[in-house]
Chain A
């Protein structure tokens, strides 16, 4: 077993709606090794996305801990957490979440604005990330001028431009046709195998989960099954 990059212990998340309390994650433990590619599956409301958000530090648990690398992120302040996210995690969203007024290159450059990098260095890195996803010739295009598959490639380029160790993908193929979805999965596999990125991917699609190294099933906030691909 390789060294763990992500260690989740006793993680509980409860949503309150009026007097109703909904336990989304219930005392959950999970380890993700460096270089792993994990697919998180489960029915709607099983807590997949919530788990992803907690590992990515954009939500906070009610109890339990999340350790990524040597950092317990559940202890960090909001500001420190934002800084940590910018340096250590790349997010890939189902709806791509590109900013419509910015070109592909400017979208990819966004996370680098949080570093002290010069403008020319930022643009060089953004171009490199775009070429890694095969879109160097679309750098000046706005999102509206790209296909869904191309938009998601830009989203992936944005996620890797700061060279984070961990990629968190929430239904990355959920909004794409099968062919485009396959291309995105191919890209994620390549990033995992050749770049050594650790990937956690939420998906409903068994076909997508097959491309991961292992699949973790959640049901009612608990791990229900784990399977190697």
Chain B
């Protein structure tokens, strides 16, 4: 009975508080905007890491393996001779396609291309591949133009690179060093890392950059994801080779780790500081809102309403403002940043990766949780004060 009475009081006072919100739109909007701003920044910053992670994660496939020189952490620092590449392509577990055994020996150089946004030069990967590369990466397709011809200085450009960098348009000619290249195609690969790259014929690239017959990686499509162990064991047991073998998805997950951590730590720090500011703003706003109702609250207490229902009802009001602010911030982040294209340096390859901010559901939930916490902290002190102020003092407030 006493508990029911307590609940009734909370419902009654909360109802009044919530109905009060439109009568003081200024202070309510300030509280909501403060919280919305923090949530929007939090979600936007974290969406950078999520987008980068998504791009690299989308790149990897568990039934594809990447072979690099043992001790190398990236393609750039790896080196595999043509004989070793041939041995790798003869290992068990590799699938066979229309172009033969699905192993693509590749080399990888970095070229300077100006960014469209700033005009400053950035590193873009130029990858030399064999014909089998188009079958190893099963999702890759030419969306404009055609493939490069073997033996010609022709290149095809990933959709992300074409969007981010100047001069990479279909039909354009571009010069790196003493070599002139013609762009003959644009390709897509389900938004993967490959879309940040430029591709050409491997022997042409070896010749242009004096690489002899060496490669840096061999990428193979396995018969199935389960064939990985067979393939890896065969290579590591082969005394002629000194290579390391990883599943493609693991290879890129490791590369994304550095940047994702940086973004998350930076984002977390900035958001924490902004959140402190927003909590103080929410406290001040709630203080103002509660102060304006000091006499109303005192009247309720004089009539017999208890202190704890008043604390809880003010907290609920702050919570509602927090949730509304959180939803508003989440919407701003989603419509303002989701899919926003940019590029950044992939620290593992020292080349640019094009990716889109990804405002994901977990990030929106994180933002909402943060908003709820800000609302709760913001409402706690003012509600406590409102319930503790002597009734006789509060009744004299104007």
Contact = CB atoms under 8 A, between A and B. Distances in A.
Interface of A: 50, 53, 56, 58-59, 78-79, 82-83, 85-87, 91, 93, 95, 97, 99-102, 110-111, 113-114, 116, 158
A59 B391 CA distance: 7
Contacts of B391: 53, 58-59
B305 A82 contact: yes
Contact of A114 (B8, B19, B20, B307): B8
Contact of B20 (A78, A82, A86, A101): A101
Contacts, number: 63
Given A110-B12, A110-B300, A58 B392 contact: yes
A59 B390 contact: yes
Interface of B: 1, 4-5, 8-9, 12, 16, 19-20, 23, 295-296, 299-307, 390-392, 395
B19 A93 contact: no
Contact of A85 (B1, B8, B302): B302
Chain A CB count within 10 A is highest, among B1, B301, B306, B392, for B392
B5 A58 contact: no
Nearest to A99: B296
Contacts of A95: 295
A113 B302 contact: no
B4 A97 contact: no
A109 B300 CA distance: 12
B392 A85 contact: no
Contacts of A91: 302-303
B66 to A, nearest CB: 66
Contact of A93 (B5, B20, B307, B395): B395
A59 B299 CA distance: 13
A110 B303 contact: yes
Nearest to A84: B304
A97 B20 contact: no
Nearest to B390: A59
A97 B8 contact: no
5 contacts: A78-B307, A87-B304, A91-B303, A93-B299, A93-B395
Contacts of B295: 95, 97
Contacts of B303: 85-86, 91, 110-111, 114, 158
B138 to A, nearest CB: 64
Contacts of A111: 303-304
A56 B302 CA distance: 9
Contacts of B390: 59
Nearest to A79: B306
A158 B12 CA distance: 16
B392 A59 contact: yes
A86 B1 contact: no
B16 A99 contact: yes
A58 B299 CA distance: 10
Chain B CB count within 10 A is highest, among A53, A93, A95, A99, for A99
Nearest to A170: B395
B304 A83 contact: yes
A82 B296 contact: no
A221 to B, nearest CB: 16
B175 to A, nearest CB: 73
Contacts of B299: 93, 97, 99
A44 to B, nearest CB: 13
Contacts of B395: 58, 93, 97
Contacts of A56: 302
A56 B1 CA distance: 25
A50 to B, nearest CB: 8
Nearest to A85: B304
A29 B296 CA distance: 32
A79 B12 CA distance: 18
Chain B CB count within 10 A is highest, among A56, A58, A85, A158, for A58
Nearest to A98: B299
Contacts of A86: 303-304
A159 B295 CA distance: 17
A116 B20 contact: no
B304 A100 contact: no
A93 B303 CA distance: 11
Nearest to A155: B299
Contacts of B12: 110, 113
Contact of A113 (B8, B19, B301): B8
B303 to A, nearest CB: 5
A118 to B, nearest CB: 12
Nearest to A106: B16
A109 to B, nearest CB: 9
A116 B1 contact: yes
Given A101-B19, A114-B5, A58 B306 contact: no
Given A59-B392, A110-B300, A113-B8, A82 B1 contact: no
A102 B17 CA distance: 11
A113 B23 contact: no
A132 to B, nearest CB: 18
Nearest to A97: B299
Contacts of B306: 79, 82
Given A102-B16, A113-B9, 19 more contacts: A53-B392, A59-B390, A78-B307, A82-B306, A85-B302, A86-B304, A91-B302, A93-B299, A95-B295, A97-B295, A97-B395, A99-B296, A99-B299, A100-B23, A110-B12, A114-B8, A114-B9, A114-B303, A116-B1
